[in-house]
Structure formats: C-alpha cells, structure tokens
C-alpha cells in the first residue's frame, strides 16, 4: 500500500473490476485514454491476471476517504512497459467519476506513482502520452513537473480523424509535490 495525504494506492482486486469496467466503458473516459475497445468483464479479468504475472507492469487501485472516513475506490493507475535496462516506463491514470476530478486527487495519486517508480523501482524516465485536448490532464502533469518532450503527429485515429499525441516525461529531481 502506498499512502498519501488524501489518496492511497493498493493492489487491484477482482472485486474492483466491475467498477473499473464501467469507468473504462464511459465514452468520456474512453476518448481520453489509449484503449479504444469496450472491454467485457471477462476481458478485464484476463487483463488483471496478465498484469499480476508481468514483471513490467504494476497496476493500482486508487482509494480516498468519504466524509465518514470510509475508503472509496475512485480510480486506477499503473506503471507499464518497464524497460529495466534503460530504466524507463510509461504511466497512466483514470479517476472514474467526474465528481472526483478537479480536487487534486488524481494529481496526488500520480505523484505517488511517479515517486514509487523513481524511488522503489529505481526507474529514471517516467513517460506518458496525452491527447492535446485533454487540458485538465496536461495541467495535472505539468503541476507535477512533467515536461513536454514532443508531439507524435497524427499518431492516432480517433473520432473520425487523425490526432496528435503529446509525449511528456519526468526524471528524478524534477518531480514536484502534489
Ligand atoms: C487527468 C486526471 C487524472 C487529473 O486528476 P485531477 O485530480 O482531476 O487533477 P486536478 O484536480 O489536480 O486538476 C488538474 C487541472 O484540471 C483542471 N480542472 C478544473 N476543474 C476540473 C474538473 N471539474 N475536472 C477535471 N479537471 C478540472 C484544472 O485546470 C486543474 O488545474 P489547477 O489545479 O491548476 O486549477 C483526472 O482528471 C482524470 O482521471 N480524468 C479522466 C481520465 C483522463 O483524462 N486520464 C488521463 C489520460 S492521459
């Protein structure tokens, strides 16, 4: 468990998957992430199994506390495509419900993920990809010290057109507090 001030990261469990599946099939989430498939619960279960067996992927559930102090599951995050020789990885994050966004919870969760990648896994370059229209996400990453590496022009075909993808990264020593 990785504990922050307002969120904590924990292992994702099978029981989390129906919620995750609902979030990942929400068109407003789907258009912001790389996956374009609508995934069944079976597919999500296979994915979790694969993640658990992989040495280059680490997935987490993001929990926060409600007004009564009870833990609530609000999102997922993960470290993927770890390259142990070059010490690089990709990261991703989703807060499933709109009502939990815009309060700094995702930014804090991403801070914990990057810190874990740098300080526990010994990784150097932590990279992510984001669509230019996803300004809240870009702003969240900038607040944490991610820098724009460049634009992969027309790298994806989405919503009937080719769209650019921005590549951002953060190195140890550049990570800022959430
Ligand atoms: C991207 C995401 C993880 C950011 O986490 P967050 O907790 O919402 O981030 P923050 O609250 O720190 O907000 C970041 C910026 O979003 C903007 N924002 C303002 N209101 C917002 C709202 N209601 N919802 C989302 N973003 C909002 C603000 O510009 C804010 O920057 P500021 O603090 O300088 O004002 C989260 O919004 C999310 O899961 N979005 C949907 C899925 C997604 O886009 N994932 C990333 C794919 S690359």
Q: Return per-residue pLDDT of the chain as tens, 178 residues.
A: 999 999 999 999 999 999 999 999 999 999 999 877 788 999 999 999 999 999 999 999 999 998 888 999 999 999 999 999 999 999 999 999 999 999 999 999 999 999 999 999 999 999 999 999 999 999 999 999 999 999 999 999 998 999 999 999 999 999 999 8
pTM recorded for the entire structure: 0.96
The residue range of the domain holding 91 is 2-126
Q: Is residue 16 part of a domain?
A: yes
Determine, yes or no, domain membership for 140. Answer: no
The CATH code of the domain that includes 115 is: 3.40.630.30
109 belongs to a structural domain = yes
Determine the distance separating the centroid of ligand 1 and the alpha carbon of 98, expressed in angstroms: 9
| Any domain includes 63 | yes
Q: How far does the centroid of ligand 1 lie from the alpha carbon of residue 86, in Å?
A: 30
- Examine residue 26 and state whether it is found in any structural domain, yes or no: yes
Burial 115-153 (b: 16+ CB within 10 A, else e): bbbbeeeebebbbbbbbeeeeebbebbeebbbeeeeeee
The answer to the question of residue 83 being in a domain is: yes
């Amino acid at each position: 468990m990785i504990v922050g001030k307002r969120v904590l990261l924990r292992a994702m469990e099978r029981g989390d998957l129906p919620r995750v599946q609902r979030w990942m099939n929400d068109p407003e989430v789907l258009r912001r992430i790389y996956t374009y498939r609508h995934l069944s619960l079976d597919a999500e279960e296979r994915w979790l199994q694969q993640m658990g067996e992989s040495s280059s992927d680490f997935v987490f559930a993001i929990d926060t506390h409600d007004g009564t102090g009870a833990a609530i599951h609000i999102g997922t995050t993960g470290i993927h495509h770890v390259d142990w020789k070059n010490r690089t990885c990709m990261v991703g994050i989703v807060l499933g419900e709109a009502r939990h966004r815009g309060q700094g919870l995702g930014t804090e969760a991403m801070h914990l993920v990057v810190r874990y990648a740098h300080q526990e896994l010994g990784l150097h370059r932590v990279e992510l990809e984001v669509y230019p229209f996803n300004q809240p996400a870009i702003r969240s990453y900038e607040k944490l010290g991610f820098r724009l590496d460049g634009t992969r022009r027309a790298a994806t075909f989405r919503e009937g057109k080719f769209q650019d993808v921005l590549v951002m990264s953060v190195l140890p020593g550049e990570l800022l507090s959430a």
